[in-house]
């Protein structure tokens, strides 16, 4: 499997629903962040970095509502890397029991590779990785 792509899925439960009966947007963003973290984790395997943290969510676009009982399937793809940065695009597809998959949300994020220093503080750390 490519280190540049990761897939992740979530099932929409009652505690994920907002007052108008659709998925709470903040929950979608949290899941997008997890999908991005998964692909960053995969990229950083074998590097000296301890992990990656979200630096910025540059763009989020909610395209279709997501409902109770839908599956939300995420595809996170690394689009570019810098010295410490990892640029990631995430697409979220909602799929109901009686509906075809539909693009529900897309986002662009930047994560930064970090390493814990001797004082216990995490700081940016070069990951030495390029996308293939």
- State the number of CA atoms in the 13 A half-sphere of 48 facing the CB: 11
The single-letter DSSP state of residue 67 is B
Tens digit of each residue's pLDDT (9 = 90 or more) over 82-125: 999 999 999 999 999 999 999 999 999 999 999 999 999 999 99
The single-letter DSSP state of residue 17 is B
Element (H, E) at 77: strand 71-81
Cβ(99)–Cβ(112) under 8 Å?
no
The structure tokens 């810098």 sit at 82
pLDDT of 64 over the 90 cut: yes
Tens digit of each residue's pLDDT (9 = 90 or more) over 29-55: 999 999 999 999 999 999 999 999 999
pLDDT for the residue numbered 131: 83
Question: What value does the mean pLDDT take over residues 24-29?
Answer: 98
The structure tokens 């009982």 sit at 69
- Residues 132 and 118: their CA atoms lie apart, in Å, by 33
Neighbours of 97 (CB within 10 A): 7
- Exposed, middle or buried: residue 59 (CB in 10 Å: 0-12, 13-18, 19+)? exposed
Beta-sheet pairing, 122-124 with 51-62: unpaired
pTM recorded for the entire structure: 0.93
Question: What value does the mean pLDDT take over residues 5-31?
Answer: 98
Element (H, E) at 32: helix 25-44
pLDDT of 132 over the 90 cut: no
- Residues 2 and 35: their CA atoms lie apart, in Å, by 15
Domain boundaries, the chain: 5-124
The third-level CATH classification (topology) of the domain covering 5-124 is Thiol Ester Dehydrase; Chain A (3.10.129)
As given in the structure block, the two tokens for residue 75 are 């595809």
- pLDDT category, 3, cuts 50, 70, 90? confident
Question: What value does the mean pLDDT take over residues 5-19?
Answer: 97
pLDDT of 1 over the 60 cut: no
């Amino acid at each position: 499997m490519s280190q540049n792509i990761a897939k992740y899925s979530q099932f929409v439960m009652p505690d994920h629903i907002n007052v108008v009966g659709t998925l709470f947007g903040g929950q979608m963003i949290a899941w997008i962040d997890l999908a991005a973290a998964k692909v960053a984790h995969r990229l950083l395997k074998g590097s000296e970095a301890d992990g990656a943290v979200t630096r910025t969510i540059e763009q989020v676009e909610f395209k279709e509502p997501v409902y109770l009982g839908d599956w939300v399937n995420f595809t996170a793809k690394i689009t570019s890397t810098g010295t410490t940065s990892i640029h990631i695009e995430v697409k979220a597809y909602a799929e109901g029991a009686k509906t075809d998959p539909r693009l529900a949300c897309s986002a662009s994020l930047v994560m930064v590779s970090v390493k814990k220093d001797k004082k216990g503080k995490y700081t940016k750390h070069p990951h030495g990785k390029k996308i293939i």
